[in-house]
Amino acid sequence: AQTVTQSQPEMSVQEAETVTLSCTYDTSESDYYLFWYKQPPSRQMILVIRQEAYKQQNATENRFSVNFQKAAKSFSLKISDSQLGDAAMYFCAYRSRDWAAGNKLTFGGGTRVLVKP
Amino acid sequence: NAGVTQTPKFQVLKTGQSMTLQCAQDMNHEYMSWYRQDPGMGLRLIHYSVGAGITDQGEVPNGYNVSRSTTEDFPLRLLSAAPSQTSVYFCASSFSGANVLTFGAGSRLTVL
Q: Give the pLDDT confidence score for residue B26 in this predicted structure.
A: 95
Nearest residue in chain B measured CA to CA from A110 = B42
Q: Give the pLDDT confidence score for residue A56 in this predicted structure.
A: 84
Question: Alpha carbon of B19 to those of A115, B55, B73, B110, B111: distances in Å?
Answer: 39, 19, 16, 12, 11
Tell which residue, B22, B20, B44, B48, has the closest CA to residue B33: B48
Whether the CB-CB separation of B25 and B93 falls below 8 Å is answered with yes
Residue B58 CB neighbours (<10 A)? 18
Residues B110 and B82: their CA atoms lie apart, in Å, by 9
What's the per-residue H, E or C state across chain B? CCCEEEECCEEEECCCCCEEEEEEECCCCCEEEEEEECCCCCEEEEEEEEECCEEEECCCCCCEEECCCCCCECCEEECCCCHHHCEEEEEEEECCCCCCCEECCCEEEEEC
* Nearest CB to A103; choose among B44, B90, B101: B101
Mutation pick from A4, A45, A94, A95 vs chain B, by most beta carbons of B within 10 Å, is A45
Whether the CB-CB separation of B17 and B86 falls below 8 Å is answered with no
**Mean pLDDT value across residues B84-107:** 91
* Nearest CB to B31; choose among A4, A6, A102: A102
Query: What average pLDDT is seen over chain B?
Result: 94
Q: Give the pLDDT confidence score for residue B1 in this predicted structure.
A: 61
Least confident of A81-90, B65-74, B93-102: B93-102
Q: What is the mean pLDDT of each run of 10 residues along chain A (117 residues)?
A: 93 97 95 95 94 91 96 97 97 86 87 97
| pLDDT tens digits along B7-16 | 999 999 999 9
Q: Give the pLDDT confidence score for residue B61 in this predicted structure.
A: 96
- Does A108 contact B42 at a Cβ distance shorter than 8 Å? yes
Please tell me the distance in Å from B60's CA to the nearest CA on chain A: 12
Q: Does B99 touch chain A (CB under 8 A)?
A: yes
| pLDDT tens digits along B12-53 | 999 999 999 999 999 999 999 999 999 877 899 999 999 999
Q: Give the pLDDT confidence score for residue B106 in this predicted structure.
A: 96
| pLDDT at residue B75 is higher than 90 | yes
Q: Does B52 touch chain A (CB under 8 A)?
A: no
Name the CA radius of gyration of chain B, rounded.
13
Residues B90 and A106: their CA atoms lie apart, in Å, by 14
- Does B56 contact A91 at a Cβ distance shorter than 8 Å? no
- Does B44 contact A103 at a Cβ distance shorter than 8 Å? no
- Cβ–Cβ pairs < 8 A, chains A and B: 60
- Does A50 contact B99 at a Cβ distance shorter than 8 Å? yes
